[in-house]
Amino acid sequence: MRRLLIVAAAAIAATPAFAAPTAPLIERAKLFGNPSRASGRISPDGRFLSWTAPRDGVLNIWVAPVSDPAAARPLTTETLRPIRQYFWAPDSKSILFINDKGGDENFKLFGVDVASGAQRTLTPFDKTRVQIIGVSTTIKDRILVGVNNRDPKWHDVHSLDLATGKLTLVQQNDGYGGFVADDALKLRIASKPRPDGGTEFYKIDGGMIATTAFATIGLDDSQTTAPIGFTADGKTLYWVDSRDRDTAALIAEDFATGKKTIVAEDARADIGDTLVEPRSGRVQAYGVNYLRNEWKIVDPAVQADLDFLQGRLKGEITVTSRTDADDRWTVTVDPVVTPASTWLYDRKAKSLTQLFVGRPELVGAPLVAMYPREIKARDGLTLVSYLSLPPGSDADGDGRPDTPVPMVLFVHGGPWARDDYGYASYHQWLANRGYAVLSVNYRGSTGFGKKFISAGDLQWGRKMHDDLLDATDWAVKQGVTTADKVAIMGGSYGGYATLAGMAFTPTTFACGVDIVGPSNLFTLLQTIPPYWEAGKQQFYKRMGDPTTEAGKALLAERSPLNAADKIVRPLLIGQGANDPRVNVRESDQIVAAMQAKNIPVTYVLFPDEGHGFARPANSIAFNAVAENFLAKCLGGRAEPIGGTIAASSAKVPHGAEYAPGLSTALKP
């Protein structure tokens, strides 16, 4: 009871001038701590269930018989880094997962035997990043992997024997960005980057790569066109393809004749997820994600299944695994306003069994709705966006607060990515603290066609930033917020957007929170990982070319570092020391520049993290600092920082005194 009183007192102390939410604070640990369970799967043979769950505070893989989920046992023994990506071996005898050290993204592949629990490192190479090239439904004893231990720029393809761990070279890679294999684990396609930022695709026959490309795409199609896989018989190749159109269609190509058939297209958005029959490899349904994901049927054989699931499970539905016999599926449903849950679906019996709720501690918590919105940019582009409101602020439920509230503009990373409809921990957390939260798919975001992506070319810090400003103006005009009560926050490109907002439009935002954001676009491109070589020309064409004088000038102009002396509003920066994408130097540079000008900035550094915060203790610690920082800036609510810093690896090289409660939290 005393702890609750302390939290309540802190919330009351931070009560702003606007009408604060009456809902209780949701503890940070419930939003950003380990889920109770996640990533539910069924083994290909249908005998086992698997998921990730904490073991001694770290996410590990657990397994259980399908007949008795309560008999689950931990299979892995990770003690530092959570396991976030895993999959079943085709023979169902082992589970494979990847992990790195301290966020360096040098991922190794590990295999663990389900029966004995014995674990092996299957790609035991340092400073090497594994790729999964091919997994078959018919060949059970091996898979294809790519490793860049010979040349860090390119991944050689190897056959991995799952029983012995032996790696056998299949294809040495001397300049190809990727490969596509069929169900027989034969390499069929090699892709090669072009100097213009596009890609050429070559057929592979008998292990020989053709000398003439059978398909070519330019820069404009480079984010929206790619082969996605063969049918099991190897005769049909599926593409997502924007050639001769704007949004990416689903195309089936007869690989022998080259004849193409349009399976699906939608003028609003690219074709996204597909539901594939495991035995034939044929697409049975596809998703179109404009405002929300909509499933469309190709094969009537799954019509009754999707109708049943959508009738029984209210929310966004994802099929996460299917048995080889296709008799049972695992399905996750996300209702947004309640925590997501995972279910076992028996197709023959038409029955659903709940396996788990991912975050049961959020059952009954005051989670809020998410409202899709279409916002017009100044040049007429439509920006698909998502708005969340503080609990209790919208009495009539029309998606607009009764009176304006402070707002956090939360910007996604990438920038070649997108925001989606669904449960978002940052939206729920910030809304609970008293803020409207607006996420905007600015130009350059993916999912809305190639013209929308290309509209962001060479527009970092300019038209891409204008979109964020236009969305902020929309929120003010709609009565969501007031112009003086908007913060900007985000990670990766979202961190760049935060720094750009602080430096290029210094009085627009009340404050900013930058997480692993680049400050100097020239040094960003200098330090991209070597294994991104295939995409380097696309970076240059879409951001600015550092090998030309004009490109250097553009990159300098768009780098917030070079306008750091213009920053006048409070800024908080979070960074992982081992980040391979946005080098720690990006944060070091702008902090040093601001320090030299005596401009206040708070810098929180995590020695055991990379591009973002994987360890929950670190995420909780940074968000503890951030919510107290935002409470001072915008007037919202906050839990005290308490012992979160001590429980994490956080270091504060500069500016602890500028973040409320941080200096105290750093004391022993």
Catalytic positions, please? 492, 579, 611
- What is the CA 660 to chain-centroid distance, rounded? 30
In the sheet where 260-264 sits, what is the strand order? Answer: 226-230, 236-241, 249-254, 260-264
The answer to whether 490 and 515 have CB atoms below 8 angstroms apart is: yes
The answer to whether 286 and 295 have CB atoms below 8 angstroms apart is: yes
Which of 406, 404, 401, 387 minimizes the C-alpha distance to 634? 406
- List 96's β-bridge partners, or say none: 87, 111
Q: How far apart (Å, rounded) are the C-alpha atoms in residues 287 and 318?
A: 10
- Two structure tokens written together for 58: 């770290």
Separation in Å, CA 116 to CA 76, 143, 255, 618: 11, 21, 43, 33
Q: How far apart (Å, rounded) are the C-alpha atoms in residues 656 and 516?
A: 18
- Two structure tokens written together for 392: 């209790």
- List 53's β-bridge partners, or say none: 60
Beta pairing class for 38-42 and 48-55:
antiparallel
197 Cβ contact partners less than 8 Å away, ≥ 6 residues apart: 218, 219, 222, 537, 538, 540, 541, 542
Helix axes 493-504, 463-477, angle to 10 degrees: 80
> Phi/psi of residue 91, each to 5°?
-85, 0
- Two structure tokens written together for 19: 């009408």
Q: How far apart (Å, rounded) are the C-alpha atoms in residues 57 and 505?
A: 42
Q: How far apart (Å, rounded) are the C-alpha atoms in residues 333 and 314?
A: 7
The answer to whether 134 and 150 have CB atoms below 8 angstroms apart is: no
Residue 197's Cβ-count burial label (10 Å; 0-12, 13-18, 19+) is buried
Separation in Å, CA 473 to CA 336, 441, 442, 470, 502: 27, 15, 14, 5, 17
Diameter of the chain measured on Cα atoms:
74
- Around Cβ 403, how many Cβ atoms within 10 Å? 9
- Two structure tokens written together for 305: 């299944």
Separation in Å, CA 142 to CA 170, 229, 232, 501: 13, 18, 16, 50
DSSP three-state, residue 355: strand
Q: How far apart (Å, rounded) are the C-alpha atoms in residues 393 and 382?
A: 27
Q: Tally the residues of the chain.
A: 668
- Two structure tokens written together for 415: 């920038």
Residue 338 gets which letter from DSSP? Answer: S
- Two structure tokens written together for 435: 């803020």
Within 601-668, strands assigned E span: 602-606, 651-654
> Phi/psi of residue 55, each to 5°?
-130, 115
Instruction: Verify cis geometry, omega within 30 degrees of 0, for the bond prior to 415.
Output: yes
